[in-house]
């Protein structure tokens, strides 16, 4: 399973970010999903990408990470001692350190919801359907790309996310009461 993000459809409303925070009740200042404006017309919504080759995972001295058979990369907070090596290793800044609990947490792709047949909170909340959940093993669309400008380097980790880039848009201007192209 992985995310599919359509840059054209994202309007930067942050509904996904809020839904994630609400669902997972993360402490203040800790957002597992964030929406960023990377250029005047491009927003990116980024969380943990549940990478195929997770680097977070390799560096953790306490083996706190696991990758479930459906691809979800989980962190077991009980094993974490807050050394933050994973924070440095992840290119997408997905693991978030909480100075108060001195532990790291991150997006778990809402597996409790998924296990009961629901979509992740962020995907469900997306107002324009820009963020979707897809089965990357089967999903094949000639227009998808592996990365977008502004998205961190995908080499090595091979994140479970694909994108639809921005099409050059036709612009319409209202001029003297008439619609002109």
Partner 1 sequence: MERSACIPEIATELTRASHENITFLIQKVSDLSGKAVILTNSHNQLISSALKDPYHTIGSIMAIQQLEQHKDPSFSLYELITDSYVYWGWGTVVAYDNNILGYLYLVDSEIPIMEVQTQTLMSLASLLIASKLQMKLEIRQEKLKFKEPFLFDLLYGNLKQKDEILEHAQIWNWDFSLQQAVLVFALRDFNHYATDKKLINKLLYIVERTVVERQWEPITMKRGNQVSLILTAKKEDQMSLKDSIRTIAEIILKEMDRQETERFFSCGIGKTYSDPRDLFRSFQEAKVALEIGELLDIQVPYFEELGLERILYKHDTQDLKEYYETILGKMINYDSIHHTDFTETLEAYVTNQFDMVSTSQALFLHKNTLRYRLKKIEEILGYKLDDINNRLNVSAAFKIKKMRKI
Q: Considering only residues 12, 18, 23, 62, which one is a binding residue for ligand SF4 as defined by CB under 6 A?
A: 62
From 49, 52, 42, select the one nearest 164 (Cα to Cα).
Answer: 42
Contact of residue 50 among partner 1, ligand SF4, none (CB under 5-8 Å per partner type): ligand SF4
CA distance 48 to 170: 33
> Where do contacts with partner 1 occur on this chain (CB under 8 A)?
52-55, 57-58, 63, 65-69, 91, 140, 153, 155-156
Q: Considering only residues 80, 109, 110, 162, which one is a binding residue for ligand SF4 as defined by CB under 6 A?
A: 80
Binding flag, residue 147, ligand SF4 (CB under 6 A): no
Cβ closest to ligand SF4, residue 22 vs residue 53: 53
For strand 161-164 and strand 2-6, is the pairing parallel, antiparallel, or unpaired?
parallel
Q: Considering only residues 86, 109, 131, 134, which one is a binding residue for ligand SF4 as defined by CB under 6 A?
A: 86
CB of 149 closer than 8 Å to CB of 41: no
Q: How far is the CB of 35 from ligand SF4 (least distance, A)?
A: 16
CA distance 62 to 56: 11
CB of 27 closer than 8 Å to CB of 100: yes
Contact of residue 84 among ligand SF4, partner 1, none (CB under 5-8 Å per partner type): ligand SF4
> Using H for helix, E for strand and C for coil, what is the string for 134-162?
ECCCCCCCCCEECCCCCCCCCCCCCCCEE
Cβ closest to partner 1, residue 44 vs residue 56: 56
Contact of residue 156 among partner 1, ligand SF4, none (CB under 5-8 Å per partner type): partner 1
From 74, 71, 73, 99, select the one nearest 84 (Cα to Cα).
Answer: 99
Cβ closest to partner 1, residue 22 vs residue 143: 143
The SS3 of residue 170 is: coil
Dihedral angle over CA of 123, 78, 81, 156, nearest 10: -40
Q: Given the rule CB under 6 A, which residues bind ligand SF4?
A: 48-51, 54-56, 59-60, 62, 64, 73, 75, 80-86, 90, 92, 94-95, 104, 106, 157, 159
């Amino acid at each position: 399973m992985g995310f599919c993000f359509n840059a054209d459809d994202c309007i930067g409303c942050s509904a996904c970010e809020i839904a994630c925070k609400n669902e997972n009740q993360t402490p203040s200042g800790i957002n597992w999903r964030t929406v960023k404006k990377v250029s005047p017309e491009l927003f990116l919504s980024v969380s943990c990408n549940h990478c195929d080759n997770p680097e977070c995972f390799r560096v953790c001295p306490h083996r706190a990470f696991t990758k479930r058979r459906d691809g979800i990369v989980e962190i077991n907070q009980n094993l974490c001692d807050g050394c933050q090596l994973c924070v440095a290793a992840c290119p997408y800044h997905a693991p978030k350190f909480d100075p108060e609990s001195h532990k790291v947490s991150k997006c778990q792709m809402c597996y409790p919801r998924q296990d009961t047949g629901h979509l992740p909170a962020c995907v469900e909340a997306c107002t324009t359907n820009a963020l979707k959940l897809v089965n990357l093993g089967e999903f094949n669309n000639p227009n998808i790309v592996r990365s977008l400008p502004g998205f961190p380097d995908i080499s090595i980790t091979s994140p479970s996310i694909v994108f639809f880039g921005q099409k050059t848009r036709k612009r319409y201007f209202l001029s003297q009461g008439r619609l002109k192209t």
